[in-house]
Amino acid sequence: MAQANKVSEQGYLRVGGVEQWLTIQGRSCANPVVLFLHGGPGNPLSPFADAIYGGWEKDFTLVQWDQRGAGMSYGRNSPAPDTAMTLDQMVADGLEVAQFLTRHLGQRKIILMGSSWGSVLGIHMVKRRPELFIAYVGTAQLVSQTRNQAAFFEKLKVLAQSAGDQKTLAALEAVGPPPWQNPRAFGVVRRASRGYEAKATTPPPKHWWQPAASYATPQALEITEQGEDYSWLQFVGFKNNGIFSQVDLPKLGADFAVPVYLVQGEQDLLTPIDVTRPYFDSITAPDKTMVLVPLAGHDPNEAMVAAQYQLLKERVVLRK
């Protein structure tokens, strides 16, 4: 490809009235554009993107976006603690970013790729403005607060009982079954689940989760942590009244105007297959498939990223 076609940009874009951080990396502007929707919602991928997804740049133009209230976007315009983030605003932000990318990169449509919380955002975006997207690719697909939390809690409880893990059982008994009114309860259960996922999955390379130099300064790390705390409280709410309480994707309808592809870790406890599968089966779309990844959980490892790449190359790009 001609050198002039390369793209390597980073900076702030005014989105929804506030400046939000974007990075754009790729060998050729002619390649399909992938917009990543990170999880959390306060866990941006931008500090780790080069390590995890850098190898994709020869085939795709990769866009990382620190969402409102997260990472570099939080640091640029830290909201007051009582400023509420809403699902509708986040969806509107995402669509504004997508529209900017089509204009800026000269692409009629882009690929949308969401993980965990980002998978909720992604479904809402493609339902609202399908004409902007080649396809939707979801990983660790959340479906419903009620269904996901109930399955998450019960699966972890069964594992702890089988292992005779009194510490985890005591923690689960202390927080009780969902829905949780205490915003810390979800974190307690998630921390316990990570140990069980780690035992059943292949770990990612350690360097994946070392932030790139510009994101690793004391100030940047502090901002990231503050954004994570702020966004998490906005997500769960102080009395189960945050963004997560509104998550019920089946209510949006099962008909999609774009292809829907899901990549799911078989050992994912937080977004387990037995919640994702019925939702996927209910969907009608121009094309759809669900890829199950052995020895993978909620967070990415090499097998998960390889499955995502294979899906993009063999199924999604053909629809460009």
234 vs 232: CA distance, rounded Å: 5
Picking from 283, 287, 279, 276, the residue whose alpha carbon sits closest to that of residue 314 is 287
Per residue in 134-187, pLDDT (tens digit) is 999 999 999 999 999 999 999 999 999 999 999 999 999 999 999 999 999 999
313 vs 27: CA distance, rounded Å: 16
The token duo for 256 is 């999609």
Domains, the chain, in order of start with CATH, read 3-144+209-319 (3.40.50.1820)
Mean pLDDT value of segment 116-126: 98
Per residue in 239-256, pLDDT (tens digit) is 999 999 999 999 999 999
- Cβ proximity of 201 and 296 under 8 Å: yes
- Cβ proximity of 23 and 63 under 8 Å: yes
Query: Which residues does residue 113 pair with via DSSP β-bridges, in sequence order?
Result: 36, 137
> Which residue type is seen at 305?
V
Give Cα 268 to chain centroid, integer Å.
Answer: 14
What percent of the chain lies above the pLDDT cut of 70?
A: 98
Alpha carbon separation from 263 to 109, 139, 226 (Å, rounded): 21, 5, 30
- Cβ proximity of 249 and 123 under 8 Å: yes
- Cβ proximity of 132 and 109 under 8 Å: yes
Q: What is the pLDDT of residue 320?
A: 63
Collect all residues with Cβ–Cβ distance below 8 Å to 195 and sequence separation of at least 6: none
